[in-house]
Chains A and B, each alone.
Chain A
Amino acid sequence: MIHWVLFLVFGAISVAGAVNLLAQRHPINSALSLIAVLASLAVEYLLLGAEFVAAVQVIVYAGAIMVLFVFTIMLLNAGEEERTRGSRVAIVFGIPGMLIASILIAWILVRYSDTGAVRVGALAGTPTAIAPLLFHDFLLPFEVTSVLILIAIMGAVVLASREPARTSAERGQG
């Protein structure tokens, strides 16, 4: 029972945050509602027994990545976005069509799938359980992602640096 309540409350918060992200016109408001979405998704992960993923979600996503976003918004002094008029056909046909399609898919998923309920606590994704997978079975992908992160950091520094980096040959000529 309590799982249903938690699922519905935090699911509603995440959907409301996602809709608010679309409705807000200032990027900083969108960023703050995205933080609400990420935090409530962390609770959903906890309900599913994914403790490690929930912690990483809060620390990396809601913490590090969103700080990066807010920093960029502040740095570029992003103002309100101006809306451009979309096509009329998209509004008249697109929104009802999308609503019908999504309700149909949701109804089919809920009605005609005889998969059992997700049992809370049946699968404990604690760091102790994740570690053998991460550092033994998925060791190569783990190391490759560390190289990926390194390349991403260097790329970010090169792209965002004010002066284009000069090679030693250019410096010799100049």
Chain B
Amino acid sequence: MVPLPYYLVLSGILFGCGVTGFLIKRNVIAIFMSIELMLNGVNLSFVAFAAHWRALSGQVFVFFVMVVAAAEAAVGLAIIIAVYRTRETLNVDQVNLLKL
């Protein structure tokens, strides 16, 4: 049987990859996918803790996280399309209207 910490380490690795991608990626869609990766890392630790503490509420929480992620993806991709219409670019370095 796989001990709980191994699942937590795997979830931490996935979350770390998401954070790294969020920082180093320059394409706004790739940044968005890194956020999804972070959410999935958290979901894995939710499910691992749910199995460990015999509490099904953790799995219901994962369901809610997925619903919020779906809503976020819909709105975020619409924002990306709107930004692309006005700025003609997907590079976050060139979307700098709010920069000083």
Please report A residues at the B interface, Cβ cutoff 8 Å.
Answer: 3-4, 7, 11, 14-15, 18-19, 21-22, 27, 30-31, 34, 37-38, 41, 44-45, 47-50, 52-53, 56-57, 60-61, 64-65, 68-69, 72-73, 75-76, 78, 81-84, 86, 98, 102, 105-106, 109-110, 113, 115-120, 122-123, 125, 129-130, 133-134, 137-138, 141, 145, 148-149, 151-153, 155-160, 162
Q: Which residues of B contact A106 (CB under 8 A)?
A: 9, 12
Interface residues of B in 47-100 (CB under 8 A from A): 47-48, 50-52, 54, 56-57, 59-60, 62-64, 66-75, 77-82, 84-85, 90-91, 93
**B interface residues, tally (CB under 8 Å):** 66
Contact A117/B37 with A152-B75, A159-B82 known, Cβ cut-off 8 Å: no
Q: Which residues of B contact A78 (CB under 8 A)?
A: 27, 29, 90
Measured between alpha carbons, how far is A134 from B56 in the docked complex, in Å? 10
Going nearest first, the 6 A-B pairs with the smallest beta carbon separation are A152-B71, A117-B1, A18-B17, A159-B78, A156-B78, A81-B27
Nearest CB on A from B15, distance (A): 10
- Between B25, B26, B37, B68, the greatest number of chain A beta carbons within 10 A of the residue's beta carbon is seen for B37
CB <8 Å contact, A130 and B93: no
CB <8 Å contact, B51 and A22: no
Measured between alpha carbons, how far is A38 from B70 in the docked complex, in Å? 14
Measured between alpha carbons, how far is A133 from B1 in the docked complex, in Å? 27
Nearest CB on A from B36, distance (A): 7
Measured between alpha carbons, how far is A108 from B62 in the docked complex, in Å? 26
CB <8 Å contact, B2 and A3: yes
Contact A153/B74 with A53-B63, A76-B84 known, Cβ cut-off 8 Å: yes
CB <8 Å contact, B4 and A45: no
CB <8 Å contact, A133 and B2: no
Measured between alpha carbons, how far is A59 from B66 in the docked complex, in Å? 11
